[in-house]
C-alpha cells in the first residue's frame, strides 16, 4: 500500500492483543486546511473499562514493537514539537488536478503511463464516508471491533478495539504512535463490512487485474487508515510493483516521494537503518534534510501535503514515506492495471510464483493481450521460453534451494550429534 507497512502480504491472523493471551477479548498554492472532523474527541468513553484498556494497550505496544520497551515510546519527546514549524514549508511540487477536468483516458496518458504522481481533488465529494467518518462516529458504530495496529515479530497481526484506540489517539504523547492499518475491514462476515458502501474506487483506478486470482488468494489491497498525529509509514516502495491511491477523509498527511531508480541506500541511510526503531517521524525530523542534499537533481523528491477530500496517486516503484500531521482517517488501495501490468508481472512471477501461475491461466482466457505481454517478457529474458515454462523453472529452483537448505540443517544436526558422542 501506499502509506503502508513495508508492504507485507502475510495472511496469517493471530490477534496479538487477545489470541496469544488466555483472556478473551512554503508553497505558492494554498495548503489544505484541517477537516472539521479531524479531532479525536467524541463520545467514546461510555462504559469504558479503564483497567482493561491500559492492559490491552500495553500488550499491543509490546507486540507491535518489541525492539523497545513501552517506557521508551516517548523518549524523544516529539509530542512537544510543533511538526509544521519543525519541518518547515512544504515544496508542494506535485501536480494537482480536479477530477471534474480530467477524463480517465487523459489521466492514464498524463500520469499513469509516464509514471507521474499527482494529487486529485473532487473524488470524495459524493462519498458518504467524507461526512460520516469521524473518530467518535466510527466508535459509536464499531467501538468493540478489533482492528490491526501492527504486526508482531512472527508476522501475526496485532489488534486493538477501536474505542480503545480512539482513547489512545486522543491522549497519547508517543513519539511514533500506534497506527490502525486494517486490510480486513471489508471482508465478508466482518462487522465493518458496511464501510465498503460508504466510499468507492475512483474512476481512474477501477481496473483491478488481481481480481482474476480470486478474493481469497489475492494479496491484501485495501486498507482503512486511522492514524494519530506523528504516526506514519516509513520509506518504502509498494509491494509487487503495484500502484496505489490514498484518499484523506480527515486530517493532513505530509508526503515525500522519490522517483524510481533512486538508490535504496540513499533514502534509507546507514545512520537511520542502524536504529532499532526506524519510524517515519524520526526520518522526517532528523534525516530528510541530509538525504535531500545528498541526491542529484534528477532524484530530488516530490514534497506535498494531502488534506481532507484529496487523493494522491502513487505510481509503480516510487519510494514514499508519510507522516500524519494531525489525527487522520483515510482509505487506500493498491492496484494492477493494464498500464503497470508488465512491472507487476516481473515482480510477481518470482515473489508470488504459485499465484502467478493461476493468474496467467486466467489472463489467457479473460485478458489475452496481457497473457501475450507475459509471454513476450518471458521470451525476452530467457530466449524462446514460454511464461508457463519460466514459472515452472522458478518453482523448481525454489524447491531445490529448499531441499538443499534442509540437507544442510540435517548435516549440521548430525555433526553436532557426533560431536557430543565423542
Question: If we measure between CA atoms, which residue out of 163, 171, 111 comes closest to residue 141?
Answer: 163
Helix axes 353-366, 368-381, angle to 10 degrees: 130
Burial of residue 406 (CB within 10 Å: 0-12, 13-18, 19+) is exposed
Predicted local confidence at residue 39, as pLDDT: 39
Question: If we measure between CA atoms, which residue out of 237, 232, 229 comes closest to residue 257?
Answer: 237
| DSSP secondary structure letter of residue 10 | -
What cell does 363 get? 489472463
> Where is average pLDDT lowest: 2-16, 91-105, 211-225, 395-409?
2-16
Predicted local confidence at residue 410, as pLDDT: 83
What cell does 177 get? 504512535
Give the dihedral sign, CA 108/112/117/121.
positive
Segment 159-164 shows an average pLDDT of 97
Predicted local confidence at residue 322, as pLDDT: 98
| C-alpha 111, offset from chain centre | 21
Q: Where are the alpha helices (DSSP H) in 153-263?
A: 162-171
**Sheet containing strand 319-324, strands side by side:** 232-236, 319-324, 253-258, 302-306
* Sequence-ordered list of residues with C-beta below 8 angstroms from that of 385, at least 6 positions apart, any chain: 378, 379, 393
Predicted local confidence at residue 379, as pLDDT: 84
Predicted local confidence at residue 41, as pLDDT: 38
Percentage of the chain exceeding pLDDT 70: 87
What cell does 284 get? 522526517
Predicted local confidence at residue 1, as pLDDT: 52
The answer to whether the CB of 33 falls within 8 A of the CB of 326 is: no
Q: Burial code of 3-32, b = ≥16 C-beta within 10 A, e = fewer?
A: bbeebeeeeeebbbbbeeeeeeeeeeeeeb
The chain-wide mean pLDDT, for the chain, equals: 89
Question: If we measure between CA atoms, which residue out of 329, 307, 331 comes closest to residue 137?
Answer: 329
Helix axes 368-381, 341-351, angle to 10 degrees: 60
| C-alpha 40, offset from chain centre | 22
Segment 338-365 shows an average pLDDT of 95
Q: Where are the alpha helices (DSSP H) in 317-367?
A: 341-351, 353-366
Predicted local confidence at residue 409, as pLDDT: 85
* Sequence-ordered list of residues with C-beta below 8 angstroms from that of 171, at least 6 positions apart, any chain: none
3-state secondary structure of 310: strand
Q: How do residues 349-361 score in pLDDT, each as one tens digit?
A: 999 999 999 999 9
Task: Please state, in angstroms and rounded to a whole number, the distance separating the CA atoms of residues 136 and 224.
Answer: 16
Pair type for strands 180-182 and 302-306: unpaired
Q: How do residues 277-315 score in pLDDT, each as one tens digit?
A: 899 999 999 999 999 999 999 999 999 999 999 999 999
319's enclosing H/E stretch is strand 319-324
Task: Please state, in angstroms and rounded to a whole number, the distance separating the CA atoms of residues 179 and 329.
Answer: 10
Predicted local confidence at residue 38, as pLDDT: 39
Pair type for strands 118-121 and 302-306: unpaired
Task: Please state, in angstroms and rounded to a whole number, the distance separating the CA atoms of residues 64 and 66.
Answer: 6
3-state secondary structure of 87: helix
The answer to whether the CB of 164 falls within 8 A of the CB of 217 is: no
For residue 397, pLDDT over 90 is answered with no
The answer to whether the CB of 263 falls within 8 A of the CB of 314 is: no
Q: What is the pTM of this model?
A: 0.86
CA dihedral 138, 31, 285, 67 (to 10 degrees): 20
Amino acid at each position: 500500500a501506499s502509506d503502508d507497512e513495508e508492504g507485507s502480504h502475510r495472511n496469517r491472523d493471530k490477534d496479538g492483543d487477545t489470541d496469544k493471551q488466555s483472556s478473551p477479548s512554503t508553497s505558492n498554492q494554498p495548503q489544505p486546511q484541517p477537516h472539521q472532523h479531524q479531532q479525536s474527541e467524541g463520545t467514546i468513553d461510555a462504559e469504558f473499562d479503564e483497567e482493561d484498556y491500559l492492559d490491552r494497550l500495553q500488550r499491543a505496544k509490546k507486540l507491535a514493537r518489541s525492539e523497545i520497551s513501552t517506557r521508551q515510546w516517548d523518549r524523544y519527546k516529539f509530542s512537544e514539537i510543533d511538526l509544521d514549524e519543525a519541518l518547515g514549508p512544504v515544496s508542494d511540487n506535485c501536480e494537482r488536478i480536479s477530477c471534474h477536468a480530467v477524463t480517465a483516458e487523459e489521466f492514464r496518458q498524463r500520469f499513469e503511463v509516464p509514471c507521474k504522481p499527482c494529487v486529485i481533488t473532487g473524488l470524495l465529494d459524493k462519498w458518504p464516508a467524507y461526512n460520516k467518518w469521524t473518530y467518535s462516529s466510527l466508535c459509536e458504530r464499531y467501538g468493540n471491533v478489533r482492528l490491526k495496529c501492527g504486526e508482531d515479530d512472527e508476522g501475526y497481526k496485532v489488534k486493538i478495539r477501536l474505542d480503545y484506540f480512539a482513547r489512545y489517539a486522543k491522549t497519547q504523547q508517543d513519539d511514533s504512535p500506534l497506527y490502525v492499518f486494517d486490510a480486513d475491514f471489508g471482508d465478508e462476515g466482518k462487522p465493518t463490512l458496511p464501510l465498503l458502501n460508504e466510499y468507492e474506487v475512483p474512476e481512474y483506478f477501477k481496473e483491478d487485474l488481481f481480481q482474476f486470482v480470486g478474493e481469497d488468494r489475492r494479496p491484501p489491497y485495501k486498507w482503512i487508515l486511522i492514524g494519530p498525529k506523528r504516526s506514519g509509514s516509513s520509506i518504502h516502495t509498494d509491494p509487487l510493483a503495484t500502484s496505489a491511491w490514498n484518499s484523506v477523509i480527515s486530517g493532513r498527511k505530509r508526503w515525500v516521494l522519490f522517483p524510481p531508480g533512486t538508490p535504496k541506500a540513499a533514502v534509507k541511510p546507514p545512520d537511520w537503518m542502524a536504529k532499532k526503531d526506524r519510524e517515519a517521524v524520526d526520518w522526517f525530523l532528523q534525516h530528510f534534510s541530509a538525504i535531500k542534499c545528498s541526491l542529484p537533481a534528477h532524484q530530488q523528491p516530490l514534497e506535498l501535503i494531502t488534506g481532507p477530500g484529496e487523493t494522491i496517486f502513487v505510481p509503480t516503484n516510487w519510494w514514499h514515506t508519510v507522516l500524519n500531521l494531525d489525527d487522520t482517517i483515510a482509505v487506500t488501495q493498491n492496484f494492477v492495471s493494464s498500464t503497470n501490468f508488465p512491472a507487476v508481472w516481473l515482480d510477481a512471477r518470482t515473489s508470488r510464483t504459485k499465484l502467478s501461475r493461476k493468474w496467467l491461466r486466467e489472463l489467457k482466457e479473460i485478458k489475452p493481450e496481457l497473457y501475450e505481454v507475459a509471454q513476450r517478457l518471458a521470451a525476452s529474458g530467457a530466449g524462446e521460453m514460454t511464461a508457463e515454462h519460466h514459472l515452472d523453472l522458478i518453482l523448481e529452483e525454489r524447491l531445490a534451494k529448499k531441499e538443499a537448505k534442509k540437507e544442510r540443517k540435517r548435516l549440521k544436526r548430525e555433526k553436532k550429534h557426533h560431536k557430543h558422542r565423542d
